[in-house]
A = this chain, B = another copy of it.
Amino acid sequence: MRYELFYWPGIQGRGEFVRLALEDAGAPYLDVGLGDARDGLGLPAIDSYLNGDATPRPPFAPPFLKAGNLVISHVANILQFLGPPLALVPDNEPARYWIHGLQLTVSDWVAEIHDIHHPIGPSLYYHQQEAEARRRAVAFHQQRLPRFLDYFERVLELNPAGPEYLAGGEHCYADLSLFQVIRGLQYAFPRTMNTHRARIPRTLTLVERVAARPGIQAYLQSDRRQPFNESGIFRHYPELDTVA
């Protein structure tokens, strides 16, 4: 099965959480948004799903994944679908609900991180809401960032199988997503993240473990890995990298 990933070109964005799972597993996929409109790909292909021409079940927004006749929206839903065939989730029900819950916590975290630079709304440019963004960044760094960092560190610490993985003794898709959030935060807020190094030793070890996985290592060195930039979720605006 060749999967088709639909996501906006030009940014890692939320699509990157899906790419990491596909790349880690070495699964064949077509990155539709990065293709050419003359080949039936690119933005017009994405739009045909969003506006309901291509499916009577239109997603609200990218990313979405096409797998045969299935069209699946939302990162957490896509990863839950891909988990079993890509061997990125254990074969037991309690672990699957637990890992999906962890992934939904990642989704909430990512939304909060995005809204640091867009506190008033996605319809305005950053420069139109920079004053509010500066205020939100302070609140985020003081309250929310430590809370999320401490949570995942504690999940690793409490894992009865040891702190190597988020869930039990096996690598799973949520490990890949935690890797991506930490790398994104380190890009966007290097000073702030530096002050937190000592509180998240297990998390930082997990990030290194994920980066060394053969599929991920190859992907990160390839030109398929788009760089972080100031159009994506994790934006490096120095004025928002305020150490609390």
Contact B58 A74 (CB under 8 A): no
Contact B119 A120 (CB under 8 A): yes
A23 within 8 A of B: no
CB distance from A193 to the nearest CB of B (A): 18
User: Quick one: given A111-B108, A136-B120, are A81 and B56 in contact (CB under 8 Å)?
Assistant: no
A57 within 8 A of B: yes
For A98, give its contact among B52, B57, B108, B154 (CB under 8 Å).
Answer: B57
Among A57, A71, A136, find the residue whose CB has the most chain B CB atoms closer than 10 A: A57
When distances are taken between beta carbons in the complex, the residues of chain B under 8 Å from A74 are 100-101, 104-105
CB distance from A8 to the nearest CB of B (A): 16
Contact B140 A121 (CB under 8 A): yes
Q: Determine the distance from Cα of A111 to Cα of B112 in the docked complex, in whole angstroms.
A: 10
Contact A119 B132 (CB under 8 A): yes
Q: Determine the distance from Cα of A60 to Cα of B107 in the docked complex, in whole angstroms.
A: 12
When distances are taken between beta carbons in the complex, the residues of chain B under 8 Å from A135 are 120, 132
The secondary-structure label for the interface of chain A is helix
Contact A104 B76 (CB under 8 A): yes
Closest to A152 in B: B60
Contact A56 B140 (CB under 8 A): no
When distances are taken between beta carbons in the complex, the residues of chain B under 8 Å from A121 are 136, 139-140, 143-144
Contact B136 A119 (CB under 8 A): yes
Contact B72 A101 (CB under 8 A): yes
User: Quick one: given A94-B69, A120-B119, A123-B144, are A60 and B105 in contact (CB under 8 Å)?
Assistant: yes
A115 within 8 A of B: yes
A237 within 8 A of B: no
Contact B132 A120 (CB under 8 A): yes
B-contacting residues, A63-96, CB 8 Å: 64, 69-74, 76-77, 80-81, 93-94
